[in-house]
Structure 1
Amino acid sequence: MHKYLRAVGFSKTPTRKEIFNFIQSGLEKPAYRAYTTNDADPDSLLAQFDLPLGKNFGLCVCGQFDDDDEFYPEYYYPYLDTDRISSAEDVTFEKRLDNNSYAGVCDDLRVGVTLIFRLRNYIEYLKNKDRQSQDTENGRIVSSCSLSALSLEGSVLMPIYESEAERKSKKSTEIKRRKLMTQARDGDEEAARTLSSAEMETYANILSHIQYEDVYSMVDSYLMPYGAECDLYSIMAEIKKVRRAGNSLTGEEILILTLSCNGLYLDLAINSKDLFGVPEAGRRFKGIIWMQGKVNFIDQEPAEKEAGNNQETIV
């Protein structure tokens, strides 16, 4: 069973039979489905079905159709989708070794780490990857990505008090920092030295305050890799919006939090039983997350909508 089923409303682990029955019934009316040819087997089609459990979350089932049009599920995972654009930086892709799934890799200067996430719309990527060496600018096929995450445990922290002048100064400093990081990435040695000097000053300032202040009163947000899995992160971020939803099978309450981590926006799903504290806009979320994401392709045609049942199909 997938560990993160709990995040979408399965606090009691379902049996294999229950999951199988849900998949079989859900395949008839998926919220989204996509197909593409399988380069490794010309007699089969790769397929993906999103089976909804609530608004924008559910189970994603991936597998193959054989030449007799029989679908064979290979793996599934819980998902959360968002329409909010998180980053406009370029994304590269890596195929996973164990199945037909892909990881997206994005370097966003706002968080200072390489973002690695499970690619939700991998079939659309397979359809677009051949364009990389054709007519797109600099071989880039992705215009942006929309990130989401699931969490099994988290806490709500109060915000750090900041005056209006402090907020303006912080914003100005961050804009300057991003500009310097862009210049340093392009080979500007002076910008790299300026960044190194600023980091040393920040480190010295933290050391001088850590003796008599709590670290969470000095650091308002962070995002850093966690554990051995490449798409797991430890995060602390500001809560911008809270939405409550229910799992249509179990009735359990799911909290959908819109988070901002140093300007990087993502949506997070967590079971209300697993969140310590009362989430409200302006407060902070702290926890471990499993990151997912969809990418938006340059000059991508809009997805077709099947008449009558509001299903999205990519063929």
Structure 2
Amino acid sequence: MMHDYLRAIGFSNLKNNKDVRDVINLVMLRPTSEYIAPSSDEEAVFGEKVKEFASRMGIAVRGEYEENGNFHFGYYLPYFKGKHSTFKEEVTIEKQSDKDAYSGICDNVKVGVSLIFQLLNMSDYLDYMEFHKGPSFFTPISLSGLSISGKIILPVLKTNEEVIRKKAESASRDYMIAAAREGDQDAIESLTLEDIDLYASISRRSKKEDILTIVESYFMPYGIACDQYSIMGDILSVERVQNILTEEYVYILTLECNDLIFDICINKADLFGEPAPGRRFRGTVWMQGLVDFMNL
């Protein structure tokens, strides 16, 4: 999977494993920044070398430093850092079973499922855990995504009154979901009736309308990987950056999806259509995130 998502940050020209190794060696020899975990009784400690190839995106190489200072490669991670605080929520950090990496898990009412993302600022987490304990934190989270396949969809025409009404309905539904999670029986029954009405409305409209005019945005799990999602959301802003090594162009899109605001990046060659504010993006993303441990 790592190899696939390298193209999202401007490395679509890597043809084989040798090309990938050459890029990884460049990161290890000339990193933009380095990190060594706090010393411990173990013979080797976690280390990370990071090289940025465009605005807020690059490759992180993680492994171990021995006592003599030698760095041993473990795995690499293409990354993209968002600049918007997506929400403030309780997040649980869990170590991944297959490698020395961590995932963030939080339950957000706007998504409807447990949202799982790759923790990017692992160094901040290790530093914080040196003096604190506990896997759960209530803190701002900045989500981002890497995409290798996406399309630009035309927006749904809405009046100002419809926009205001939908925001009010969304806020009311969020309140009802929160109450239902606390065991409020009235809220559970109201949500059940709303879902039945919504299903009937969609079934009726789908006979005459295109599904993309009925469903304005969505955020749902995709495939077998727990941190990959299929999304569709409104484009708030568009930025085009260039990979300084490959000179490939990458789009940075700020999206509003299910009332969540976050950034994604996608190679210009992998995006079908011309992005612009007001239009919609539809595609699959690998979710990543920054957890603000400084505000705990």
Match of 1:182 in 2: 178
The yes-or-no answer on 1:276 pairing with 2:272 is yes
Partner of 1:2: 3
SS at match of 1:172: helix
Q: 1:304 is matched with which residue? A: none
More deviation, 222-231/117-126: 117-126
Seen in structure 2, the aligned counterparts of structure 1 residues 11 and 298 have a Cα distance that, compared at 3 Å, is closer
Unaligned runs of 5+ in 2: none
Which of structure 1's runs of 4+ aligned residues deviate more than 6 A? Answer: none
- SS in structure 2 at match of 1:90: strand
Q: Is the CA contact 1:87–1:146 (under 8 Å) kept in the aligned structure 2?
A: yes
Equivalents in 1 of 2:295, 2:159: separation in Å? Answer: 43
Count of paired positions: 294
Shift of 1:127: 3.0
Q: Pick the aligned partner of 1:265 from 261, 268, 283.
A: 261
Inter-partner Cα distance in structure 2 for 1:15 and 1:68? 33
The answer to whether the aligner puts 1:223 opposite 2:219 as a matched pair is yes
Indicate if the aligned counterparts of 2:249 and 2:267 stay in contact, CA closer than 8 A.
Answer: yes
Q: Which moved more, 1:121-130 or 1:111-120?
A: 121-130
User: Percent same amino acid at aligned positions?
Assistant: 37
Q: 1:240 aligns with which of 236, 241, 257?
A: 236
- Partner Cα distance (2:175, 2:35) in 1: 39
Give 1:232 deviation, angstroms.
Answer: 0.8
Given residue 170 of structure 2, which amino acid in structure 1 is its aligned partner?
E
Written as runs of structure 1 = structure 2, the 5 A alignment for 1:1-315 is 2-27=3-28, 30-37=31-38, 42-129=42-129, 131-133=132-134, 140-297=136-293, 299=295
Shift of 1:142: 4.0
Using the size of structure 1 for normalisation, the TM-score is 0.88
Corresponding residue number in structure 2 for 1:308: none
* TM-score where L is the length of structure 2: 0.93
Q: How many Å separate the matches in 1 of 2:109 and 2:177?
A: 7
Give 2:4's aligned amino acid.
K
Q: CA RMSD for the aligned pairs?
A: 1.9
- Identify the range of structure 1 (140-149 vs 273-282) with the bigger mean alpha-carbon deviation: 140-149
Maintained 8 Å contact 1:57/1:80: yes
Asked if the contact 1:23/1:51 (under 8 Å) is kept, the reply is no
CA contact (8 A) 2:5 2:146 kept: yes
| Whole-angstrom distance in 1 between the partners of 2:132 and 2:138 | 11
Q: Structure 2 vs 1, CA of residues 84 and 175 (structure 1 numbering), >3 Å: closer, same or farther?
A: same
Q: Deviations over 1:171-226 (max 9, x none)?
A: 11011111111111122121121111111111111011111111100110001001
In the other structure, the counterpart of 1:310 is: none
